[in-house]
Structure 1
Amino acid sequence: MKVKFIIFVFASIWLMLITRVFFLAIQSNNYYSELSQNNTIKVEQIAPVRGEILDIHNNPVAINKLGFRISLAPHLLSKKQKKNFEAEIDLIVKLLPSLDREKIEKNYRKKDSFYNHNFIEVVPFIPYEEMTPVYSILNLRKNIKITAAPKRFYPYKNIAAHMIGYVARANKKDIEENPLVDLIGYTGKTGIEKYYNEYLQGTPGQRKIKVNANNQEIEQLNYVPADENRKLTLSLDMELQQYISKLFDGKVGTYVVMGVDGAILSAGSFPNYDLNIFVNGMSHQMYNELSSSLDHPFTNKLVHGLYPPGSTIKPALGLLYITTDLNERWSVDCKSRLPLGGRIFRCWKHQGHGYTEIVKAIRESCDDYFYKGSLVLGNQKMSTGLKRYNLGAKTGVDLPNEFIGVVPSREWKYNKYKRIWNVGETLNMSIGQGDFLTTPMQIAQMTALMATGKLPKPHFAKFIGEQEIEAEYEEVLTKKESEKLSIIRKAMYQVCNNPHGTATQYLHSKVTLAGKTGTAQVIGIKQDIKKRKLEHELAYYNRSHAWFTTYGPYKNPQYVVMAMVEHGGHGGHAAGSIVSNIYNKLLELGYIKK
């Protein structure tokens, strides 16, 4: 019995040993093989080349300049390698005297460590023409690595700067949000460059190589090219863009030329700046001058500027009036003064407008009509209706971080200030003043709604690669509003064509227009002032913002043109000539057929 037990024990032990040997020799082979591969096979990611941006006629507006980057081998700061480190930098600076030696050393020391076995980038970009004469010399050095490094370039410099946007070196936040940016080194920061960054940057390629113990390449095992050079074609016309930029020379403000389908043909924000300074870098002095300017050149006023809309909202509000509690025959007797709650609410016309119904109220911009109409409708109906027209909401334009503005209401005021609404605020709201704030893009979208009865989604992209962007519309009008929209269009036509229209005398357009002027006050008028100063008599930054939003041709709406001049005074006076010239240029370029 004891013998059998001993044999059983020995057999069990031998079985366990054989099983263990089998596991180590056979089953673990894949595991240790994989470990072995990690020691000898290296995977390199290949940074994609950023896609180009083109205008509607395939003129490049954002391209890549050909150049090179210089990298040095790691661990050159050790005692044994120190002389090699100095020699390599001496050679680089000798052959390329435009480079800063201290900066090269600083870049190297920042990234060199015992754990880093990759080449260290010390010069991010050298132009092609500068590198070509010395390329063969540097490329033969085993401690120096020369690789292609495209650099973003904007041929039109400051034209459409806020819309196109720029790329710049990526920071920690950029890398956290998009790890690929760490490989590429730069990312879209503003405008279209940022909005379409993921598409434009492409996807990286991959290169699998075998290396020895010294990290030297033995052979290439596999190569997957990067998905790059993705083309983005815009609906912008840079010839038109350059023309309109000259019209705004010396002025502060913004404009947009948009098809009634939402395709943006031209847009600008002023003052602007050369996009290339963000790629190449700027001095602290230049940055401080730009950032401290009272005209805010860094702000894209089209979507980030918040302004009282003034009388530009009267067509939309008028449509609400005549389709809810009022009708097109309802009228007021404007005497230029409306006493209410211990205050006097004035109409802009000192002697008043007399008998006024909806068409005249919009044509001559009678404030008294809208004051009294707002007392009938009340804030709730006004606010709800204007929000339905998409005020106080994003337009959906393909630009980053679009602002939404404010359509004031009882709920909004209480939530923000914990204070109750008063009736005077309803009157201020009816003429686009008080806490009412919109972006110029919203006013342009609302104008398109008045022109066609449909709310288009504005967009700059025409083709993403080969895929065409289709127009998108939203039906927001009620059946009754659609039926009575022709009354509002008639009034907007008279604004630009009737002898009493607020814009007529300032226009010289060859295209028949409909539109609305607006004068948005930036300072309040004291109650004891019986006759206010004229706009040109006020200090510049106290003058009103001048709005003029239009569509044309009147009978067959094709384009919306909106212009807003900061501190420009009266809308027609400040922007009438600009808008007229834009339509004449559209006619000249064949966008509008006469």
Structure 2
Amino acid sequence: MRRPPRETEESNRLIGRRALVVGAAQLGMIGVLGWRMRAMQVDEGEIYRNLAEENRINMRLIPPGRGLIFDRNGVPLAVNEQNYRIVITREEAGDVDDTLERLSRLIRLPEGAIERVKEEMYRRSAFVPVTVAERVPWEEVAKVTVNTPALPGITAEVGLSRHYPRGSDTAHVVGYVGPVSDYDLSKMTDPDPLLQIPRFQIGKTGVEAKYEEALRGSAGTKRIEVNAAGRVMREIDREEGKSGADIQLTIDSALQAYAEARLEGESASAVVIDLETGDLRAVASAPTFDPNLFVRGISSSDWRALNENKYRPLSAKTVQGAYPPGSTFKMVVAMAALESGLVGPEDTEYCPGYTEVGGTRFHCWRRGGHGNVNMHRSLQESCDVYYYEVSQKIGIDRIAEMARRLGIGVEHDVPMSAVSAGVAPDRAWKRDRYDEAWRIGDTVNASIGQGYVLATPLQLAVMTARLATGRDVRPRLVHSIGGEIQPSGAGEPMGLNENFLRRVRAAMFDVSNAARGTGFGARITAEGMQMSGKSGTSQVRRITAEERARGVTSNADLPWERRDHALWVNFAPAENPRYAVAVVVEHGGGGSSVAAPIARDVTLQALYGGPPPLEAYPSNLRDQIAEQQKRIENRVARHAGGSDRA
């Protein structure tokens, strides 16, 4: 049926309008696409070119060389040495179990290495190499290289590893490094990207830990080409990083080695301070340990042996061990009493062998007492009753204030691990710590360095240095960082009465050099080298009235853990002091009989810069000392020879 012409004309007009609309829409879409293509190619072209490049080129970090650590004379204490290691790449290894089994038959692998490697491999991408063994001898590297076709995914690499040439001598001071752990990362708010590198090592203890950032340096970078799977194809370029700063310590490694040897067989510590600069010349704790064990990955048997040793070889006793200072604290009380103006140097107290306070009897070490005693004699013969009486006159707050001025109850700023502040107790301290009032018996106990009073060997050495000089001597362990000299620890005058200081020093001189002095048996006889000192014996158990009635049990008859601590402090030479020394022997017994001879020997070694002449010792000891010197020299020589490749 034919449509009317008018209807046909209307239909054509409608179709034309629709075609125009559709065409316009198509042109609009083409225009938008064209504009966007232009923007992407011209305006944003650089951005997309960079994104494409990043898909092909990766940046990798290059670990820097760790800074070295030296003693005061330039002797290396921590170095980096070439280290051959064997690594495995999972994506190239095929059957990992079979490959590792073949490798274990070819070379000796560390205990538990295969299990550790498997665990680490499956925590990382398949193309990331995992270390199987470090410090591999060249002969074994050669074996691996020759057998490469039979060991898919196994390669030998060379890098740098930490080594401690002095071995155990400086372990507590220098510390050691170890792989970064999850715990290490959890303590950091913004970890260095370097720490994400597998088995990257950081300082764990001692100077290595305290100066980690300075020693670590900054990473270099390299650009590498990778394929779609992320496998490295080639290195394009690199920019080397900046090695860590070298650190020079104040320690004299020869004196340190001697001190460690002299302490051998004891659970003990010794500190030597240079009075002119505050430099720590020796900071020795015994027994000690080989830090190289931790760098390589310590075995469970070695760790158990260290951790279960009752002498605590992992503890830096010089700064971590806080002990009742015993009679070495009497100089603090004497200075507090004299400075208070309530007690004069010639005032006396009567010692019948004990004092009654609040119904409790406090005994002097000499059962029959000392009679009338002034300050000088109280130090020379170490009368306890004098300090019981004087302390009640001046009060604990004055004693605590003087203790802190002399360095006890203060956390000294030395870069070692877990430095203790000790305790210089006063009324406020006990109220805050125990919510209890201070008692007069607490003051009496504190007056002879017992009760709540605690001091580290470092603090006792600082106390002695300040008494010897009258200056605020501060211990310094680091001489320079990256060649920049660190501030001296010489200190400013403390403002203590010089006459009172001379009185205390004179009494300390007679402790060592007068026939009735408690340290006379350990004196130095060389002219101009005599020392001024003070012994201390601190109890670790309570002696009951019944035990006193039947006779106090001697230390030799007690288990080691219940024996008294032995302490000694001194400075020398007495007339022109150069060094202050503190020695603590845990459960050693008497301070004058055990700690004093060690301190004398270490002091002489420091004064002479090596073995002293036998004339420096009392004539009745010279044969014994000659044997001792020979034994120590042999021990130091053997240790030095073996520590290079410990």
Is this a same-fold pair by TM over 0.5?
A: yes
CA distance in 2, matches of 1:383, 1:428: 13
Count of residues in Structure 1 that have an aligned counterpart in Structure 2: 583
Alignment map for 1:374-523 (pairs within 5 Å): 374-475=391-492, 477=494, 479-508=495-524, 510=526, 511-523=529-541
- How much does 1:235 deviate? 2.2
CA distance in 1, matches of 2:577, 2:603: 12
CA distance in 2, matches of 1:557, 1:397: 23
- Specify the SS of the correspondent of 2:167: coil
- How much does 1:27 deviate? 2.4
In the alignment, which of 174, 184, 204 is matched to residue 189 of structure 1?
A: 204
Q: Which is worse superposed, 27-36 or 369-378? A: 27-36
Deviations 1:63-101 (A, max 9, x none): 333222333334347xxx54xx5775576456x421379
Residues 99, 152 of structure 2: 8 Å contact kept: no
Deviations 1:103-145 (A, max 9, x none): 44752464347x8264321414143523552475478998444
The answer to whether structure 1 residue 233 and structure 2 residue 248 are counterparts is yes
Deviations 1:211-232 (A, max 9, x none): 3335455554442212226432
In the alignment, which of 162, 179, 182 is matched to residue 172 of structure 1?
A: 182
CA distance in 2, matches of 1:483, 1:591: 36
Q: What is residue 298 of structure 1 aligned with on the other side? A: 314
Deviations 1:244-275 (A, max 9, x none): 22222211110011211221111211122222
The answer to whether structure 1 residue 577 and structure 2 residue 597 are counterparts is yes
- Specify the SS of the correspondent of 1:344: strand
Residues 92, 152 of structure 2: 8 Å contact kept: no
- How much does 1:35 deviate? 1.4
CA distance in 2, matches of 1:362, 1:208: 71
Deviations 1:526-566 (A, max 9, x none): 23424423433433322211111111111211111111111
CA distance in 1, matches of 2:583, 2:515: 22
CA distance in 1, matches of 2:157, 2:561: 52
CA distance in 1, matches of 2:587, 2:111: 49
- Specify the SS of the correspondent of 1:459: coil
Deviations 1:421-467 (A, max 9, x none): 21101000111001111111111111111011122222322232322
Q: What is residue 119 of structure 1 aligned with on the other side? A: 128
Letter in 2 for 1:517: S
Bigger CA radius of gyration: 2
Q: What is residue 221 of structure 2 aligned with on the other side? A: 206
Q: What is residue 360 of structure 1 aligned with on the other side? A: 377
Alignment map for 1:17-28 (pairs within 5 Å): 19-28=35-44
Letter in 2 for 1:588: Y
Q: What is residue 99 of structure 1 aligned with on the other side? A: 109
Change in Cα spacing, 1:374 to 1:345, as seen in structure 2 (3 Å) is same
Q: What is residue 246 of structure 1 aligned with on the other side? A: 261
- Specify the SS of the correspondent of 2:545: coil
- Specify the SS of the correspondent of 1:35: helix
The answer to whether structure 1 residue 339 and structure 2 residue 359 are counterparts is no
Q: Which is worse superposed, 349-358 or 443-452? A: 349-358
Q: Which is worse superposed, 297-306 or 66-75? A: 66-75
Q: What is residue 12 of structure 2 aligned with on the other side? A: none
Change in Cα spacing, 1:576 to 1:383, as seen in structure 2 (3 Å) is closer
Deviations 1:262-319 (A, max 9, x none): 2111121112222222233444344333322322222111111111011111112211
Change in Cα spacing, 1:44 to 1:241, as seen in structure 2 (3 Å) is same
CA distance in 2, matches of 1:473, 1:12: 85
The answer to whether structure 1 residue 148 and structure 2 residue 158 are counterparts is yes
In the alignment, which of 540, 543, 558 is matched to residue 525 of structure 1?
A: 543
- Structure 2's unaligned 5+ residue stretches are 1-16, 617-646
Letter in 1 for 2:160: P
Deviations 1:344-399 (A, max 9, x none): 11111222222222111112111111111111111222223322333212111221
Letter in 2 for 1:538: L
CA distance in 2, matches of 1:10, 1:245: 91
- How much does 1:153 deviate? 2.5
Alignment map for 1:214-293 (pairs within 5 Å): 214-215=229-230, 217=232, 220-228=235-243, 230-260=245-275, 261-293=277-309
- Structure 1's unaligned 5+ residue stretches are none
In the alignment, which of 387, 412, 423 is matched to residue 370 of structure 1?
A: 387
Change in Cα spacing, 1:30 to 1:91, as seen in structure 2 (3 Å) is farther
Consecutive aligned runs of 4 or more in structure 1 exceeding 6 Å deviation: 6-15, 138-142, 590-594
CA distance in 1, matches of 2:364, 2:158: 66
CA distance in 2, matches of 1:64, 1:136: 24
CA distance in 2, matches of 1:144, 1:162: 37
CA distance in 2, matches of 1:89, 1:337: 74
CA distance in 1, matches of 2:591, 2:252: 26
CA distance in 2, matches of 1:501, 1:278: 46
Residues 263, 458 of structure 1: 8 Å contact kept: yes
- Specify the SS of the correspondent of 1:43: strand
In the alignment, which of 142, 147, 150 is matched to residue 133 of structure 1?
A: 142
CA distance in 2, matches of 1:72, 1:289: 32
Q: CA RMSD in A?
A: 3.2
CA distance in 1, matches of 2:561, 2:360: 26
Letter in 1 for 2:589: G
- Specify the SS of the correspondent of 2:91: coil
Residues 72, 251 of structure 2: 8 Å contact kept: yes
Change in Cα spacing, 1:142 to 1:541, as seen in structure 2 (3 Å) is closer
- How much does 1:322 deviate? 0.4
CA distance in 1, matches of 2:112, 2:523: 60
Change in Cα spacing, 1:235 to 1:508, as seen in structure 2 (3 Å) is same
CA distance in 2, matches of 1:146, 1:132: 6
Deviations 1:321-356 (A, max 9, x none): 101132223221222221110111111122222222
Change in Cα spacing, 1:286 to 1:18, as seen in structure 2 (3 Å) is closer
Residues 50, 200 of structure 1: 8 Å contact kept: yes
CA distance in 1, matches of 2:514, 2:224: 77
Letter in 2 for 1:235: T
TM-score by length of 2: 0.82
